[in-house]
Chains A and B, each alone.
Chain A
Amino acid sequence: MRTFTQAACLSLSLALGAGAFQTVMAQQIQPELGPAQQAFIDDPANLKPFGLTKEKLAKVLQGRDAATIATTLSAMMETIEAAKYRGYDGPQPEGQSKLDPVGDMPEIALNPQAGQFNRGLVLRPSILDQYQRDPGPFSLKRYMYETDGIPTFANAPVALRAEDLVAGEVDVAFVGVPLNMGSGWRDSHNAPRTLRAMYGIGGFDVYAGVDPSLELSLADYGNISVDRLSIELGVTHVREMVGGMVEAGVIPFIIGGDHSVMFPTVAAMADQFGAKNVGVVHLDAHYNAARDLAHFQSDTQVVSRLIQDGLIEGKNLVQVGLRGPEMDEEALEWMRSQGLRYHTMAEVEAKGWDKVMRAAIDEAKDGPENIFISFDISVLDPAYARGAGRPVAGGLTMREAMPLVRRLCAETKVVGFELLDVSPFLDLSYATSLNANAILHSCLTGVAMRKKGLDKKAYLSPLTVSD
């Protein structure tokens, strides 16, 4: 009985909401509240970080005296203020390391005295090879029909330098970028080696009736070196290396790494084809357009960085599969203001997958000719890809994702494809790796279809599908 009364009171005060707050104010605080404090509580953006609305704050303050309320409000204001950078220019106390500054750390110090500072990023000129060879991709297979042995993507021959790609007139080259600082569960640096060791890329495709391994000249370009402890220190190198692949005439298939990789890869495309002259199709559970973070580079902000740096235009970005709690109204409004063409899973729920897929493909064609696809494995439902750095329930099935990727790669001029955030060790089974390779295979098939002229809408092989 007593519980019921309490519940009734609670719902009553909740219903009153702002009214109750005003009562509290009128009775006790109004004379004490300065204009700054009033302005502070009037702005919902100030209350949101505390998990509060004006009504919830009223509940918290109910029954407190004016002095306590003033203390609480100034603690809240100070907290919001403390979020900003506060440096300290004065002298360090004696014996205190510069790495332990008095104020906020304005930058993260490196060690210029380190031995061979740039060692990881310097390429070996071919003249320094101990044993010389002619340029061109070379096979690691001993046998005619070898499927295991030393693993490479799609069992492709190896290319180490741009001159190998040029000499082999390579169409598609796979390259790993094992950078995984950003992602939640951090295992995606194991993706390139695990996907190399899993089958499923290449061979006859039953949907298109095409064998991309036969139609295309493929190569495995190895991994691009990254700095395991800094995204920033690796960005320029990845950008140059991917750009070098495009210059060598190939379509790079990039295997991450987490989604922070999208910045240097798309930037490389902008370098090659012109800023704002590349359309991007971004398949992901995550919008990745956070702004105003303390770090300049991370997976959660690649999209906004690319737009703010003038490398791509908002309207040339098509996003599919968005869901999860990261986005809020403010984020969606910003995305809309930039003209992003986003398709959430809510839209899939409302309109059905076929319509959303058609819209995404049409939009990809309605913009720059050159298309780059950024595929985050988390766009798939965790049932298909539990080995994801940031899995979110309620995603695409493989039977939705494969046709979309195949069609995009067949029907648009794809100049690059990336598959990011596969975290293989987080999946005890082979399923994530197998599905990841099936996605790579779908795009590879699309590229082969286009080369053969099979780029009509939703083409399927008459041998496997009757009219």
Chain B
Amino acid sequence: MSLTRNTFAFAAGLLIAQGAFAAEPEVDRRMPNFLKAEAKEDAEKAKKRADPLDALEYTPSRAGDVPTHIDAATPGLKPRQSLEIPDDVMARLAFLPAETLEFLKSGKAGTAVRPDVMFEKILGFETDEQIQAYMDAIQSVFAQIEFQEGRDKTAIALNTASPNFNNWRLLRPRDLDPARVPGPIALSRYVGGRGGGFSTFAGAPVAFNQADLRAGDVEVAIMGAPLDMGSGWRDARRGPLAMRVMGRGLGGTDVSTMVNPGRTLNIVDYGDAAIDQLSTERSVQEVRRMVREIAETGTVPFIIGGDHSLEYPNVAAMADVYGKGKIGVIHFDAHLDTGRGRVHLLDHGQPIYRLMKEAHVRPEDYIQVGLRAHYSKEYYAWQKLIGMRYHTMAEVERRGWDAVLDRVVKEARENTEYLYISFDVDVLDPAFEPGTGTPVSGGLSMREAIPIVRRLCAETNVVGFDLVELAPELDPTYRSTLNANSILFSCLTGMAMRKQGITETNFISDLSSDHGQDNYYGDAP
């Protein structure tokens, strides 16, 4: 039976292909649908639709003030666009009560259904009852979706009666350990500094508190913040562990500069910040406290995530110490992370908005590098409006990496005295960094990332650094972790260079190339 039918369909298909039964001869069948006149007309119309952001003008932000147009495009806060109803549709709707028509004109229906689909459906209905039922459904969906006082929760309740309420962040009384004088604790057994067997960041000694940092004249404290609620595939909580255990990529001499950061800088492993794995909001307060604790002593905090929600507490803590609006941020990421207007006030896509909304950083002092995730055009239009500086991979495609690199370093030196680098490992191509929660193709290579991080940390006043979104279990090899360590090493190298007074633009040691002897390329000074 089915065979017969199939055979018939096949034969009929052949005949149609040959033009025997062409039903609409005037249509060119070789023209794909999306190029047909009607489709192009729709596209043109969409293009002409006014963008409400165009009516606004860039207003420079002042340090400590909330940027003027911060909420010009925030879902829930931006003005709703009204809807124009075509006359023929309006004629069909005339029987409806005035308030329903008001609802339609307000543009609220767009929450439930696309306007062009709605118009077509209305014209297609035969009776007023059908239209009424359709409108009721749209209004009901709108009422369900919008926040309603009394019905919807404004907060997630916690069990304040719990005797274990703060267990997650209870500090262990240090009195339980043998007495010691403050200062970093070396975990190595041998004179050569090796062989402890205990994995710390960069093999560094351990510090627990400000007294340790001060006593040891510590210059860099590396801490973990294993928070991974926000991230896509979620494994970033194991980032700090993996980077400690890796044991490669974080020591020795950097060949480009002949600088050994481990010997030049006083580095410690400051342990991890406590994290409540069921609440970003609770966790970030503890992270902020700990980053502040480090920065207050003049030590540069390096924070290993954890997901990118951490950019909020990290940079907020820097602003606590250096002043609101006094710090610039270089945000390496495939993603804009300027999400906003969501139900949860913080996740790994919203840290930048929250920082600007609380006036910790001015939009002008934000520099994003490596953007390529599929954010809508409106995001870019808004970033442009408020004056953020962004460098997409499209710009790299157009200008070449060297030009973009130079520009970023130049911009980083403008505006603010202090700089903070937030390095999301997904700025790297998945070839280099498969172990990350939200990978995006077409990213930076390690040979592009290492120099920019080293140069920024050498040539600008970097006072804090984070590396986030390493999700080691998602990469069966060591590669993602090794590359993460190498990025960290590049910044440590840059800081060691600065300590040694090497701050010239794009410094490379003479010893490092051309056998350190001849002038083959004819450009030696």
Tell me if B165 and A110 are in contact (CB < 8 A): no
Chain A residue with Cβ nearest B358: A97
Q: How far is the CA of A370 from the CA of B282 in the complex (A)?
A: 40
Q: Is A211 an interface residue (CB 8 A)?
A: no
Tell me if A111 and B345 are in contact (CB < 8 A): yes
1/0 contact string of B149-166 vs chain A (CB within 8 Å)? 100111111111111111
Chain A residues with CB under 8 Å of B158's CB are 85, 105-108, 294-296
**B-contacting 9-mer, from A3-11, A120-128, A357-365:** A120-128
Q: 8 Å CB contacts to A: which residues of B322-368?
A: 341-345, 347, 358
Q: How far is the CB of A161 from chain B (nearest CB, A)?
A: 13
Q: How far is the CB of A428 from chain B (nearest CB, A)?
A: 5
Tell me if A112 and B133 are in contact (CB < 8 A): no
Tell me if A107 and B147 are in contact (CB < 8 A): no
Chain A residues touching B, range: 35 or more
Q: How far is the CB of B48 from chain A (nearest CB, A)?
A: 24
Tell me if B168 and A294 are in contact (CB < 8 A): yes
1/0 contact string of A108-119 vs chain B (CB within 8 Å)? 111111111111
Q: How far is the CA of A331 from the CA of B514 in the complex (A)?
A: 69
1/0 contact string of B120-160 vs chain A (CB within 8 Å)? 01000000000001100110110011110100111111111
Q: How far is the CB of B286 from chain A (nearest CB, A)?
A: 11
Tell me if B168 and A118 are in contact (CB < 8 A): no
The total of interchain contacts (Cβ-Cβ below 8 angstroms) comes to 205
**28 A-B Cβ contacts within 8 A?**
A52-B176, A76-B175, A76-B176, A78-B173, A85-B165, A87-B160, A97-B358, A107-B157, A108-B158, A109-B281, A110-B343, A110-B345, A111-B76, A115-B78, A115-B341, A117-B147, A118-B146, A124-B112, A125-B140, A181-B277, A181-B278, A185-B235, A186-B237, A187-B473, A292-B163, A294-B165, A425-B474, A428-B476
Tell me if A104 and B166 are in contact (CB < 8 A): yes
Q: Is B117 an interface residue (CB 8 A)?
A: yes
Tell me if B140 and A110 are in contact (CB < 8 A): no
Q: How far is the CB of A136 from chain B (nearest CB, A)?
A: 20
**B-contacting 9-mer, from A223-231, A275-283, A335-343, A455-463:** A223-231
1/0 contact string of A154-189 vs chain B (CB within 8 Å)? 000000000000000000000000001110011101
Tell me if A115 and B76 are in contact (CB < 8 A): yes
Q: Which of A52, A180, A229 contacts B280 (CB 8 A)?
A: A229
Q: Is A399 an interface residue (CB 8 A)?
A: no
Tell me if A294 and B176 are in contact (CB < 8 A): no
Q: Which of B76, B168, B279, B343 contacts A227 (CB 8 A)?
A: B343
- Additional A-B contact list (17), CB under 8 Å, known A52-B176, A82-B170, A229-B280: A72-B173, A75-B173, A79-B170, A83-B165, A85-B165, A105-B285, A108-B279, A110-B156, A115-B341, A124-B112, A128-B112, A182-B278, A185-B234, A186-B235, A292-B164, A294-B158, A294-B164
Q: Is A332 an interface residue (CB 8 A)?
A: no
Residues in chain B within 8 A of chain A (CB atoms) = 2, 74-78, 111-113, 117, 121, 133-134, 137-138, 140-141, 144-147, 149, 152-168, 170-173, 175-176, 228-230, 233-235, 237-238, 276-282, 285, 288, 341-345, 347, 358, 473-474, 476
Q: How far is the CA of A72 from the CA of B111 in the complex (A)?
A: 60
Q: How far is the CA of A119 from the CA of B476 in the complex (A)?
A: 37
Chain A residues with CB under 8 Å of B235's CB are 185-187, 426
Q: How far is the CA of A117 from the CA of B142 in the complex (A)?
A: 10
Q: How far is the CA of A107 from the CA of B159 in the complex (A)?
A: 8
